[in-house]
Amino acid sequence: MEIGTLTRWGSPKTGREKESLEHYRKSVAYGGRLVKEGKLSYFEPFLFTSGDNEIESGFFIAKGPVAEFFGIIDSEEYRSLLARATLLNEHVRVDMLAVGEGVDRQIADFEKALSALPV
């Protein structure tokens, strides 16, 4: 089974614009490397073209096998990249995602809970 993350970030902090762009490129390379190594099955960056870019400028979606994924988010390299992102950008946030079979399982759990409610 796979899981995923949605990693969002806002605008660069004042005076950190160049470092933020450099860090973005480093993060994209890191995600791409994890896909090539087979640790992730998917990684892609997205940038918003509308909305409040101070709050949300872009996001990464990553997914991979559960065991590999938890190993990644526990690694020093990942934790270091995330820590640096929070120093360089506003509103950095990481959310865990149900993907693939996990979505089906979550819906089945919801249906089971719903059927247990009195009508």
Q: At what angle do helices 76-88 and 17-36 cross, to 10 degrees?
A: 150
Please report which confidence band the pLDDT of residue 8 belongs to, taking 50, 70 and 90 as the band edges.
very high
Give the CATH number of the domain where residue 54 resides. Answer: 3.30.70.100
Domain count, the chain: 1
Choice among 63-72, 87-96, 110-119 with the minimum mean pLDDT? 110-119
User: Does the pLDDT at position 36 exceed 80?
Assistant: yes
pTM summary value: 0.90
Burial 20-31 (b: 16+ CB within 10 A, else e): beebbeebeeeb
Per-residue pLDDT of 47-88, as tens digits, reads 999 998 889 999 999 999 999 999 999 999 999 999 999 999
Task: Name the token pair of 35.
Answer: 């896909």
Kindly give, in sequence order, each residue whose CB lies less than 8 Å from that of residue 31, ignoring residues fewer than 6 positions away.
40, 43, 44, 45, 60, 62
Query: What is the domain range of residue 109?
Result: 2-115
Please report which confidence band the pLDDT of residue 119 belongs to, taking 50, 70 and 90 as the band edges.
confident
Per-residue pLDDT of 11-32, as tens digits, reads 999 999 999 999 999 999 999 9
